[in-house]
Amino acid sequence: MYLFKESVEAIIPKVKEWRRHLHQYPELSFEEFETTEYIIDQIKDFTDITYERLAETGVVVRLNGSKPGPVIALRADIDALPMTERSGVSFSSKNEGVMHACGHDSHAAMLLGALYALYEHRKELEGSFVFIFQAAEEVFPGGAKELVEKGIMDGVDAIIGQHTGPKIKVGHIATRPGYIMANSDRFEVTVVGRGGHGSSPQACLDPIPVGAQIVTALQDIVARHVPAQESCVLSVTQFNSGTVYNVIPDTAVIKGTVRTYSTENRELMEKMIKQIAEKYAAASDMTIEYEFRRGYDNMCNSDTYTKALMEVADELYGSGTAELMAPGLGGEDFSYYLQKVPGCFYFFGIGNKELDCVYPTHSTKFRIDEDSFSVGISIMLNAAIRFQKLAKKEA
């Protein structure tokens, strides 16, 4: 049964208006003050809702139905990226050097649309719905962790999150039960040598060749220590040393990222990066400084709730609407919510070659086909009602 169809169709023009406004005025992580006020302005005259700012930016809205029942949370992130937009759309960013290149403007606008649609039917609903307009997904430690620590998931039975999917055609979604995103960590190794004149390397402890050996040796961790059937990535993304052509520097700094699913592989990577760096440095009478910074934890969808959401999508738009995706190695702080309650995170298709909506997220040319909005909102709303039924059965 397709619930809220007329309400969703009626609100789409407003969703597009909201999204385009947010797109023109993007704000960086933890700086989303005007974005937060704009969202509040759209709901401040509503009765039968409450809203609060649990963090400095972002807002949490609660809508109660006419009788008690399960509580379902729906989340959208609202922050932008430090990028200069080159998408060519008529409503491009007016904030120089800041761009909504990951679709968080659409996430926020669509969640507002979902709130409006449910608000219209509030007298027919049971239970409650918590709408989380969350700050700072793009930078660690992210905005979700603070909200969870402040009890945002207390009393919530299940949660739904969605994200733009540039590789997915409009009208389709993609998700999977189990691991859908990875542990997202970073490391930094500083090789400490002894600098001097470039003409006298014998009087120095040159950290550059040792750093190069470490970079090469790190690639053996995944190849030789992680089972072939387990996904794991180690990428060295920075190698910096020296400032002058004729001076051997004191240090060389290696930075990179590690993506894993299991706790065991995460701990293995942390330990072995240090061991390898220490070994090569010691062989040349040098030392290292080491930092392994754990970022977002892996994200694991509930089997039951993910199956239910995929069924809802196929019921609404036909068999095959919901595609089973492979696990991704990106990071997402939605993982903190899923550590507390079951739920599903999915990607909704925004791809359309005719409209040049083909660029990946975090591209300066990133575009969204706005025809995707009605599909995303409808699936989110109907899945929320289905989740309430599941929560009742599990109670």
Outline where 284-321 has alpha helix (H). Answer: 303-317
CA atoms within 13 A on the CB side of 258: 29
Strands 59-64 and 299-301: unpaired
CA distance 376 to 252: 47
Which of 27, 32, 77, 79 is catalytic? The answer is 79
Is 45 among the residues known to form the active site? no
DSSP per-residue letters across 40-68 = HHHHTT-SSEEEE-SSSS-EEEEEE-SEE
Is 137 among the residues known to form the active site? yes
The count of other CB atoms within 10 Å of the CB of residue 289 is 12
Q: Tell me, rounded to whole angstroms, the distance of Cα 328 from its chain centroid.
A: 11
Q: In what order do the strands lie in the sheet with 158-169?
A: 49-52, 59-64, 126-134, 67-77, 158-169, 343-351, 173-175, 322-324
C-beta of residue 129 within 8 angstroms of C-beta of residue 43 = no
Composition of the chain by helix, strand, coil, percent to 5 = 35, 30, 35
Which of 32, 137, 157, 185 is catalytic? The answer is 137
Residues involved in catalysis: 79, 137
